[in-house]
Structures are given as C-alpha cells and as structure tokens.
Amino acid sequence: MSIKPQDLLNNKKDLNKKVKFEDISLDNISIDDLTYDGKNYKNYINLNSFLDNVSSCQISDAFNEIAHRSGVLYNLKSINNLKVWGKITTSKTDSDDWGTITLAMDEADEGDVLLVETSDMDAAIWGELASTCAKNSGIKATIVYGCVRDLDALLTMDYPIFACGYRPNAGKALGLGEVNVDLELESVKISPGDFLYGDETGVVIIPKEFFTSVMQKTFEIKLKEKSITDMLNSGMSLSHVVGLK
C-alpha cells in the first residue's frame, strides 16, 4: 500500500521511529507488518527496529533450528555493503535480456526486494540506471543471481545491490523473461512474497510460512548472544561459556 504525505500528517506517525531493542515486542507480528498499511503502526515499528538490529547470521541460525535449513544463497555477495530486508518480487531472464527486470520493477510493490535469476554470467542485467529507477519507485534493493555493472556508481549509491559478479557488457531490452515465478537457486526454493534478508555477510531466504517463527527464534538468539557477550566482557573465557571447561 502506498502511503501519501497527507496520510502521515493526518495520522501523525513517524515511520522512521526506532524502538530500543530491550523494548521490542514481536507479539502477533506477521510478514505483512514489513510494510505500513495505516493500521499496523506498532507492529511495523517493532518489526523494522528488530530487523535493523539483527544479522543474516542470526536469521540463518534461527531458520536452521526450526527447519534444519540455512536459507543461504552462497554465491551472492553484497556489492556496496548495505543491509536490506523485505518481501521478494521474483523474475527470471537470460543474461542478454535486461528488459525483463524493467517489467519486474513495474510489478513490484513499494518496499519489495527484487530477486532476479539470470541464465549465466555472460553479461550484466543491472546497473546505475536501473538502480536509480528502482530506488525512485520505492523498491528497497536488487539481488541479481548473475552479474551487474556500473560499479563506479553502485558503490556510492544508497541502494543495496547483491550479485554473483560483475561485467561491463550488457544485452538488450528484450523483455522475454518471466516475472513473479517460483525459482530454485542452490537447492533453495523461492516463491514471490517470501522474505529476504541481506547484509555484508550474505543473503538468507525465509519462506513466508516460516516468517513469524523464524523472527521469534532470531529474537531468542540475539538475546542469548548478548548475554554471552556480557559474560565475555566480564572476563569469562569462551570455552567456559560454551561448557567445554
């Protein structure tokens, strides 16, 4: 749902508000709370404050405890070291067809993350102009399972990019690929609307039906790690903390 400036003035809601971690509540949250719909302000603020304070490592650990899966796409790396999370809009295209990704941008909702599977690494399907358009459209990030280009611009843009590699060459705007289709990358099955979390360490995919349980488990892991950090800072050795001595 697109929120107009007058809606914010009328509701007097600060969508950039941050809740201290110790005050965060994830009671009754769902994947729909990733976006503000005019009624879910408390859940929206709590969930996004929480996600701003955790990492891909903790989310992967949580998913592994629940489903015995890591959710990690190992070949994807951050291009400009920016963190992102959101629902996924998927697309699939040949590496010589960057036109499909423009169609995916048109289909994505504000706050979504684009995830694009390409056929190979022969050419880039994403660059500066596409990033500029996506950012202006309210899309949060682009993840290319293939190559991007224009690194001179992407490295300094306030728009998260993840990719397997980069190339200077590109194909054409053919638009022959598919949008909002199921994908399977590295044996990870991905559907439109699933959850993606990416940061400097990597990218994790969480199926939408696991979202709430994984978030709550991640919260437990974050609290446990904080407790361990406090013990280490008090002078305990890690071997003692983990019970090896």
Q: So where are the chain's domains?
A: 1-53, 56-245
Q: Percent of the chain having pLDDT more than 70?
A: 95
Question: Please, which pLDDT band fits residue 2 given cuts at 50, 70 and 90?
Answer: low
Among 150, 95, 97, 138, which Cα is nearest to 114's?
138
pLDDT given at position 205: 98
Tens digits of residue pLDDT in 119-158: 999 999 999 999 999 999 999 999 999 999 999 999 999 9
pLDDT given at position 1: 46
Tens digits of residue pLDDT in 197-239: 999 999 999 999 999 999 999 999 999 988 888 888 888 888 8
Question: Please, which pLDDT band fits residue 11 given cuts at 50, 70 and 90?
Answer: low
pLDDT given at position 204: 98
pLDDT given at position 238: 83
Is the entire prediction scored with pTM above 0.85?
Answer: yes
Neighbours of 169 (CB within 10 A): 11
CATH number (3.40.640.10, 3.50.30.40, 3.30.365.10, 3.40.50.11900) of 56-245 reads 3.50.30.40
Does the structure show a pLDDT above 80 at 4? no
Tens digits of residue pLDDT in 83-101: 999 999 999 999 999 999 9
Tens digits of residue pLDDT in 27-81: 999 999 999 999 999 999 999 999 999 999 999 999 999 999 999 999 999 999 9
